A and B are shown apart, each in its own frame.
Chain A
């Protein structure tokens, strides 16, 4: 199985801050990576796929980058509605696996 790690596990930030979350795979996943946002009591929401492609309707302040084993989710200017937990997921090989999540809360 491909193991996914994320860092940091949590962070505190202010509205307007630039936030970066890192996801690392235990082996190369050829950009087969998705990012999800989950708010308490809600289902995850797809933000980006193929490492850097923005899902329809997702604000452009969200962006993704990376290659090989290392990927990044960036929120360029954190908004109040962005406080949530973020998960990465690899779909390069089965079983598809998720990172443990990064919780973004208010400083």
Chain B
């Protein structure tokens, strides 16, 4: 059974960089059939697609966040990561990682999510 698990600091100071890692188990991140993505959800609000990455390193970023986002992959560790720079309180959210089948660009497996609070 595929599992995804987010990890990283739960508190980040304003203007600093948010860094999260998603560890994939029960399947290979190097599969040519899937992308891997990040989605976030501010408390009490809706979902926002942050971006995605293919095992080869090819990325897509939401234009609304593109200038601040970097997603990378480490196939040796079966992990992919998110960096979001210059954070503000508006970046406070639950961050989810997820798998994206290349034939239907939806989110079929999700991590449990991790709350990141931006505060001094």
Show the binding face of A for B, using Cβ within 8 Å: 32, 34, 36, 42-46, 49-50, 55, 87, 89, 91, 94-101
Contacts and interface: CB of A to CB of B under 8 A. Distances in A.
27 contacts: A32-B104, A32-B105, A36-B107, A43-B110, A43-B111, A43-B112, A44-B47, A44-B107, A44-B110, A45-B110, A46-B106, A49-B106, A55-B108, A87-B46, A87-B47, A89-B47, A89-B106, A91-B104, A91-B105, A91-B106, A94-B60, A94-B62, A95-B63, A95-B64, A97-B49, A98-B47, A98-B49
A69 B64 CA distance: 23
Contacts of B113: 43
A99 B112 CA distance: 21
Main secondary structure of the interface of B (DSSP, over half): loop
B74 interface: no
Interface residues of B, number: 18
Given A44-B110, A87-B47, A91-B106, 17 more contacts: A32-B104, A34-B106, A34-B107, A43-B110, A43-B111, A44-B47, A44-B107, A49-B104, A50-B104, A91-B104, A91-B105, A94-B60, A95-B49, A95-B64, A98-B49, A99-B46, A100-B46
Contacts of B104: 32, 34, 49-50, 91
Contacts of A97: 49
Contacts, number: 48
A95 B112 CA distance: 23
Interface in B74-120: 96, 104-108, 110-113
B43 to A, nearest CB: 11
